[in-house]
Amino acid sequence: MRNSTLTDTGTTQAGRTGAGQTGATPKQASAAAAQNIVLRLLRMRETGLIAIILALFIVMSFASPYFLTWVNMRAMVMAFAVEGIVVIGMTILLISGGIDLSVGSVTALAMVVAGWLFLAGVDPWLASAIAILVCTGVGAIMGFFVTRVGLHHFIVSLAVMVIARGICLLATGGRPLGLFTLPPEFKFIGQGSIGPVPLVIIIFLVTVVAFDFLLRKTTVFRKVFYTGSNERAAAYSGIRTKKVVFLTTTLCSALCGFAGIIYMARFGSAQPTFGIGMELNVIAAAVIGGASLSGGTGTIFGAILGVVLLSVVSSSLALLDVSVYWQDIIRGSILLAAVSIDHYLQKRRGRK
Amino acid sequence: MQHAHCRPNHPLPKTDGDKPMTDDLLLKITDVSKSFGSVRALRGVNFDLRRGEIHALAGENGAGKSTLMNIIDGILRPDSGEILIDGQAVTIASPTQAQQLGIGFVHQEIALCPDVSVAENVFMAATNVSRALVMDYGGLCAKAATTLGQLCDISPATLVRDLSISNQQLVEIAKALTLECRVLILDEPTAALTEKEAQILFGIMRKLADQGISIIYISHRMVEIFDNCDRVTVFRDGQHITTQEVADIGPDDVVNAMVGRVIDDLYPPKLDAADRSDDMILEVRNLTDDNRFHNVNFHLKRGEILGFAGLIGSGRSEIAKGVCRLECSVRGETFLNGALLTPRDYQDSIQAGVVYLSEDRKGDGIFLDMAISANVSALDLQRVSSPLGVLNSAQETQQAADLGRMLNLKCGCLSDPVSSLSGGNQQKVAIAKMLSINPKLIILDEPTRGVDVGAKCEIHRILRALAAQGVGIVVISSELPELIGLCDRVAVVREGRISGEVSGAKMTEENIMQLASVTDATAA
Ligand SMILES: Nc1ncnc2c1ncn2[C@@H]1O[C@H](COP(=O)(O)OP(=O)(O)OP(=O)(O)O)[C@@H](O)[C@H]1O
Ligand SMILES: [Mg+2]
């Protein structure tokens, strides 16, 4: 391909309406487009992630007879499905240039608020709606501190992480709330299945597809990319960047609330200590999937692959009887390795 | 006792004194090629640099000038070819190594640490090689002050983020001057400087050259090349076209070699008397921002192009941003086509069709990591989406392609990130972004910064055509010839106030400079 797809036309007309259609012929264009797609597929980091996951699958199916079983697969997917919803929120927030350490606490907060209301006699659906609203409010408060007061996401969410956890423990006295009287149709959210497929997985897939579409295709979410990529340039393009950051912060917490409710329905209890350390897993998944901590890049698909990778690793380690302590060390190392390899490839691409 | 010295054996004693000037090559580049994916940025170029010469490098946007400089500085590695320094083949693997070889590089894009003081930025490279554990901050400031002192009077203790673009550029130059280099590369250093600062820079360049330092000077301004350089090399499409003594060649020949055609009229014809209209496009009354400008009044009539001149820090850009309600709170009234504008912020202003092209391309003009097409559509996504807000990527690409063609944008693929473009082409993307919304009024701050002669001429023509269609055009520029050549009227800003206006035959560099500069008589 030549260096110039747009030049070499020789003629340039003044005035917008005058710009002629002197580009390549449609046939050439489509051939070039096809070639382009292949090239881009190869270059996409998602391709690399899928390859790693497949390799792990193959190795593990030889290493353990239990790995490639329906039960194990189902357990694995169930394990990451709900967390995956939180990862979506985190990815969007990372793209806008923020970060949220409070995801685990806020997820627990949703459970505790809903559970507590339910025990106080509120209808479980209404209680859940209120709980999600409370979480959204928590996100809005963080958004306020970040955009209006001007603090960094890191410190604000760190504080909220501790506060929300404190509230959970305070409200429950540190003991899980048993919610044995939850009506079956509510528990169905977390425990039921449609045909052979657990409802949780369906909810997860729908959320993924919806947000993937929104992020790639809608003007609202495009502004998230602009803001994260260069906040000043975004402001100089008339984008109300503070509003964007406020909204992504709030959305992330709202999704945590949603995830918390699903967990509650699944466990049939509200656990005030749930989700400790979850932020690490969630951020790691998003970053492995290509989100950058400095904002502007990231995809839902990639982040979900990040979650899948981490779950496959966890599940493999458990099946191989690796001690829990070792599991953490290995998981941390994988994060470091994945991000380093990616960084190296990016850099080499830039220099090449 | 046969020594292999060449020179004494040469039977040309008369010209011996001149000999070093012509033969003494400090740097020689042979057959260097470099590709980025499918883009062939350099295809077997040759280049040489004599000791103590100022060698201009010219070429259209994307011709490969910065790429070659990046190779010399070790930032990029060539695919093939050889670099000789003092006749010895070298591989330059990193900028640090380039520094050790005595190469100093002032980049086209400003690369300073914004949150650190000027002094520390100036000595970034020096502290980089120093082994001292504790920095002598006072000494550093004093040294920085001396280096900076030759160029300007910026306080070494200020933070870089608080400086204007032109001052940042000066800091960047000072940074290179502190290195005891043998080769100094200046990649479009004057694009962000005013005339006066540029002249100071040329003085320093000549002094360095006389000390035997060789300078590679990249610029799109023919006047600068012909006034200050010894030789000129022209690149086109990644190929070496010619190298000539400046004395043997004229500006037209260089432009011709660059563009491959003759450009006869640099500026489009101005508005003639018959086409003048009394329709007001823009009227600004008593625009005031308490800290930066006061009681600014100006107007723009249909078909006219209004210029804004002024020294750096005079408040030209601030006034423009004030009109668009960007980053400031202002009082005063703005009428667009007779209707009062009441934008709360820039978003409202864009909706009303009033846009501002920033002078700081990298900082707030473009999204470097994002696709070219996404950059072009950033101002108004509604144009490339369905009413429900779903983006139509075909439409988005088409928009970028149309505008790109109009501006002669040179790129591989519209989905490539803007960072893969040459500096001038990035500027074209920024302009395309402004044009994408069919604006009613465009205020362009240094619109042709870093743009090559041909494209500059094209941009001027487009601005003129837009003005004729009734779009308001206001141009801010530090390049006085550009203002004089393009505009029908020039308003001069001094210390946040409009100090005067010139038009017609009165539009001369002297008159503008006089209005722009602060004299004691007027200050009293
Ligand atoms: N990192 C990169 N990735 C892909 N393409 C690149 C990259 N850097 C430069 N190019 C391409 O190489 C070509 C030469 O670019 P270069 O920056 O050397 O141009 P230039 O002569 O300095 O132009 P200008 O006058 O606009 O600064 C351009 O077509 C540009 O798009
Ligand atoms: Mg360049």
* Shortest Cα distance, chain B CAs vs residue A325, angstroms: 39
Q: Do A16 and B404 touch (CB under 8 A)?
A: no
Question: Is residue B1 classed as helix, strand or coil in its secondary structure?
Answer: coil
B465 touches A: beta carbon within 8 Å? yes
* Shortest Cα distance, chain B CAs vs residue A237, angstroms: 5
The response to whether residue B59 sits with its C-beta less than 6 Å from ligand 1 reads yes
* Shortest Cα distance, chain A CAs vs residue B345, angstroms: 8
Q: Which residue of B has its CA nearest to A236?
A: B364
- Distance CA(B411)–CA(B61), nearest Å, equals 10
CB-nearest partner of B367 from A218, A220, A226: A226
Is residue A94 domain-resident?
Answer: yes
Residue nearest to atom 7 of ligand 1 (CA): B420
Pocket probe for ligand 1: among B422, B426, B428, B459, the residue whose CB has the most ligand atoms within 8 Å is B422
C-alpha B35 – ligand 1 centre gap (Å): 10
* Shortest Cα distance, chain B CAs vs residue A212, angstroms: 13
State how many domains chain A has.
1
Question: Is residue B370 classed as helix, strand or coil in its secondary structure?
Answer: coil
C-alpha B236 – ligand 1 centre gap (Å): 12
What is the residue extent of each domain of chain B?
Answer: 24-102+183-193+214-257, 111-180, 273-523
Residue B151: partners with Cβ closer than 8 Å, 6 or more residues away: B170, B173, B174, B197, B200, B201, B204
Its ipTM equals 0.79
CB-nearest partner of A219 from B77, B346, B385: B385
| Residues in B 103-132 with any Cβ partner in A closer than 8 A | none
Q: What is the pTM of this model?
A: 0.81
Helix axes B453-468, B251-259, angle to 10 degrees: 90
B273-523 topology per CATH: Rossmann fold (3.40.50)
B67 touches A: beta carbon within 8 Å? no
B161 touches A: beta carbon within 8 Å? no
* Shortest Cα distance, chain B CAs vs residue A142, angstroms: 24
What's at A105, amino acid-wise?
A: S
CB-nearest partner of A219 from B345, B389, B458: B389
Is residue A351 domain-resident?
Answer: no
B346 touches A: beta carbon within 8 Å? yes
Question: Which residues keep their CB under 5 angstroms from ion ligand 2?
Answer: B 66, 108, 422-423
Distance of CA B472 to the CA centre of its chain: 24
Question: Is residue A231 classed as helix, strand or coil in its secondary structure?
Answer: helix
The response to whether residue B425 sits with its C-beta less than 6 Å from ligand 1 reads yes
**In a 10 Å sphere around its CB, with 0-12 CB exposed, 13-18 middle and 19+ buried, how is residue B443 labelled?**
buried
pLDDT (tens digit per residue) in A71-126:
888 888 888 899 999 999 999 999 999 999 999 999 999 999 999 999 999 999 99
Is residue A32 domain-resident?
Answer: no
Mean pLDDT in chain A?
85
CB count in 10 Å sphere of residue B245: 12
Q: Do B366 and A223 touch (CB under 8 A)?
A: no
CB-nearest partner of B381 from A9, A23, A222: A222
Residue A106 belongs to domain spanning: 67-344
B349 touches A: beta carbon within 8 Å? yes
Q: What is the CATH number of the domain that holds A329?
A: 1.10.3470
Is residue A21 domain-resident?
Answer: no
CATH number for the domain formed by residue range(s) B24-102+183-193+214-257: 3.40.50.300
DSSP letter, residue B242 = E
Q: Do A3 and B413 touch (CB under 8 A)?
A: no
Pick from B461, B477, B463, B405: nearest CA to B434: B463
Is residue A163 domain-resident?
Answer: yes
Pocket probe for ligand 1: among B66, B70, B188, B431, the residue whose CB has the most ligand atoms within 8 Å is B66
The response to whether residue B427 sits with its C-beta less than 6 Å from ligand 1 reads no
| pLDDT tens-place values along chain B, 524 residues long | 344 343 333 433 333 334 344 468 899 999 999 998 878 899 999 999 999 999 999 998 889 999 999 999 999 999 999 999 988 899 999 888 898 888 989 888 888 888 888 888 887 766 665 556 666 667 777 777 887 887 777 888 888 888 877 788 888 888 888 877 899 999 988 888 878 888 888 988 898 899 889 999 999 988 899 999 999 999 998 999 999 999 999 888 888 888 877 766 778 888 777 777 788 889 999 888 888 888 899 999 988 999 999 887 788 889 999 998 887 678 888 899 888 988 888 999 999 999 999 988 888 889 998 999 999 999 999 999 999 999 999 999 999 999 999 888 888 889 989 998 888 899 999 999 999 999 999 999 999 888 888 888 888 988 999 999 889 999 999 888 899 999 999 999 988 889 899 988 888 888 888 888 865 444 43
- Distance CA(B185)–CA(B69), nearest Å, equals 7
Please report, for residues B270, B304, B488, B504, the alpha-carbon distance to residue B273 in angstroms, rounded to integers and kept in the order given.
9, 11, 11, 11
Is residue A249 domain-resident?
Answer: yes
CA B107, B110, B115, B121 dihedral sign is positive
Contacts of A217 in chain B (CB under 8 A): 390-391
The response to whether residue B421 sits with its C-beta less than 6 Å from ligand 1 reads yes
B358 touches A: beta carbon within 8 Å? yes
B379 touches A: beta carbon within 8 Å? yes
pLDDT (tens digit per residue) in B247-293:
999 888 888 888 877 766 778 888 777 777 788 889 999 888 888 88
